[in-house]
Amino acid sequence: MKNIVLIGYMGAGKSTVGIQLSDRFQIAFEDTDQVIEKRQNMAVSEIFEKYGEESFRTMETELLAQMAEGKGRRVIALGGGTPMRFENRERIKALGIVIYLRARPDTIMERLSGDTSRPLLRGGGARQKIEQMLKERGPVYESLSDLTVDTDGKAFENIVDEIGGFYEAACNKRTEP
Ligand code: S3P
């Protein structure tokens, strides 16, 4: 049985969808940002300020390696930047069925409006930053995913149904003779 691995840009809904999927399948939910924050006893933004982005990226890579050892089926939400380190990509694929939650810049702007917890979007020009990063990241997210789900204008409930159906089918396919 495989894990469900959620990837995608900030504000795509990975945490919300992840929690709902974990409820639906009665399996644990892990969010890499939350695990790192707990370990460091600091918010991601503070980690960026105190140690710099590269140190945070190394924490993500180390955590990913540890997650491969984890027991039991889980839903895992990865930070939006995790797939961008080349060395993380094989690990992400090996972790389970990878779902890309895709969102357009407008949707991201809307979902993140008033949010100050994302250090990469601070300092103005958020829309331009989002567009630029999506250009770089979109193809990487696509290349890793078993399923891409467009989230724009969709209720989380419908997104969860779509992923749930795909996941069940994928698990059944694997157990057929
Ligand atoms: C980041 C995404 C964030 C967090 C950090 C960097 C990124 O996670 O890891 O602020 O590079 O996209 P979410 O995708 O959960 O917001």
* Residue 169: C-alpha distances to residues 97, 161, 163, 165, 174 (Å): 11, 12, 10, 6, 9
Residues 6+ apart with CB under 8 A from 143: none
Is any ligand 1 atom within 6 A of the Cβ of residue 119? yes
Measuring from atom 11 of ligand 1, which residue has the nearest CA?
81
Q: For every one of its 177 residues, what pLDDT tens digit does the chain have, with 9 covering 90 and above?
A: 689 999 999 999 999 999 999 999 999 999 999 999 999 999 999 999 999 999 999 999 999 999 988 888 999 999 999 999 999 999 999 999 999 999 999 999 999 988 889 999 998 899 999 999 999 999 999 999 999 999 999 999 999 999 999 999 998 875 555
Is any ligand 1 atom within 6 A of the Cβ of residue 130? no
Is any ligand 1 atom within 6 A of the Cβ of residue 164? no
Question: What DSSP designation does 24 have?
Answer: H
Is any ligand 1 atom within 6 A of the Cβ of residue 81? yes
**Ligand 1 centroid to residue 7 C-alpha, Å:** 10
